[in-house]
Copies of this chain bind each other. A is one copy, B any other.
Amino acid sequence: MARTADHDARRRQICAAVRRIVVQEGLDVATMARVAREAGFSVGLVQHYFPSKDALLLHTCRQVMADVNTRVAALITEGEKREQAIRTTAFASLKEMLPLDAARRDEYRVTRTFRGRALDNPDFADTVRSTAADLRAQLARAVTNGKECGEVPADTDPELAATRITALLDGLADQLHQDPARAVGHRGLDSCAEEILKTALREVFSGTCGRYRR
């Protein structure tokens, strides 16, 4: 019998096939047969891991969203190791979720496709909701840390700030994906979106971090 690691690897390969299909052709095309062909497995093997199309898609949705959060967590660890200001780390982490290059455009498309599914499927809605809650909680924690180290004014409400910044981030991502080449005045939307995000973070993290001796 194959080891657990092999099972995990196969599940990941199957989910990766779903992601490619969603990016290239949309969710409707992701039948069990099409996914099996894309992954290079038999339909029987795919069914061994995922008894139904719904189970397969839901697992893929969870994995895609968990992958994003894992990447953000790694950026946070990296920022702390470099003794960056929290504002700098927060910007690098949140920017990671804007569709500013081909890879992140693909990721946007996959996550938004699953969000669309969440409109009429409670299991997907739960995953989307808890992923969004995780991100807000991470950002609220960053704001609380900022209050402790002096980067954030003491009267800031961490949850309110996190709600506002994540809302802005989501809306900017939508606009960037809808019309990446759009001009805003004399500049491109991409640089404007980064500036808008940076300004919003500076409004919250307006002080200086006293945590690291420099």
Contacts and interface: CB of A to CB of B under 8 A. Distances in A.
Interface of A: 25-27, 109, 112-113, 115-120, 125, 128-129, 132-133, 157, 159-160, 163-164, 166-172, 174-175, 178-179, 184-185, 189, 192-193, 195-196
A178 B116 contact: no
The A contact surface, by secondary structure, is helix
Assembly stoichiometry (copies) = 2
Contacts of A119: 26, 109, 112-113, 116
Given A163-B175, A170-B171, A171-B171, 11 more contacts: A26-B120, A112-B115, A116-B117, A157-B184, A157-B185, A163-B172, A163-B184, A163-B192, A167-B170, A168-B171, A170-B175
A109 to B, nearest CB: 6
A150 to B, nearest CB: 22
Contact of A192 (B120, B160, B179): B160
Given A116-B116, A119-B26, A185-B160, A172 B178 contact: no
Contacts of A196: 160, 163-164, 167
Contacts of A192: 160, 163
B172 A167 contact: yes
Contact of A178 (B132, B178, B193): B132
A27 B117 CA distance: 10
A184 B159 contact: yes
Given A119-B26, A120-B25, A167-B172, A128 B185 contact: no
Contacts of A132: 174-175, 178-179
6 contacts: A109-B119, A112-B119, A116-B116, A132-B175, A159-B185, A163-B193
Given A115-B116, A160-B185, A160-B192, A175 B171 contact: no
A86 B58 CA distance: 45
B112 A178 contact: no
Nearest to A117: B116
